[in-house]
């Protein structure tokens, strides 16, 4: 399955799509990226005169790349290309280390811990363009083809 096919199956659209591309993917890990555009809707109020990307949005970006894109790849043999998979985030634990500013590109790496009965649990980390750790944690979710 090609990265463009995975992205086409995501159950999200702008302004809530936080995946620009997938660099690499295998049965055990995925690496993808997103650039937070300067005109993203959430910068208007977070924070006034000093915009930074909210942690919940960073978590969502990590979940979309590190859990949903990855899960679509892992379920590729069961998926119908005309129907988007159903996804439910079941848990996450994140630690944040650096802010992400408007216009900044981030890279998400995700490593599979467990994939059983359509439940995927991954260790994820987000890096900035300098390779510095922005956030890391564990995300779990259920996927249905």
Catalogue the active-site residues: 46
Give the Cα separation of 112 and 140 in Å (integer).
Answer: 10
What are 38's two structure tokens?
């300067």
Beta-carbon contacts of 139 under 8 Å, excluding residues fewer than 6 positions away, are 59, 62, 63, 66, 67, 89, 91, 92, 110, 121, 122, 124
> What does the DSSP assignment read for 89-101?
EEEEEEEE-S---
Provide the CB-side half-sphere exposure for 29 (13 A, CA). Answer: 10
């Amino acid at each position: 399955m090609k990265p463009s096919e995975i992205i086409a199956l995501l159950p999200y659209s702008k302004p809530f799509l936080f995946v620009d591309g997938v660099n690499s993917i295998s049965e055990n890990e995925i690496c993808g990226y997103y650039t937070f555009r300067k005109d993203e809707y959430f910068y208007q109020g977070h924070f006034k005169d000093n915009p930074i990307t909210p942690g919940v949005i960073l978590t969502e970006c990590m979940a979309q790349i590190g859990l949903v894109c990855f899960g679509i790849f892992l379920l590729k043999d069961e998926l119908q290309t005309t129907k988007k998979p159903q996804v439910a985030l079941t848990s996450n634990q994140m630690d944040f280390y650096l802010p992400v500013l408007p216009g900044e590109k981030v890279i998400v790496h995700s490593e599979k811990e467990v994939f059983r009965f359509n439940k995927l649990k991954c260790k994820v980390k987000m890096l900035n363009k300098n390779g510095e750790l922005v956030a890391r944690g564990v995300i779990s979710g259920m996927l249905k083809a």
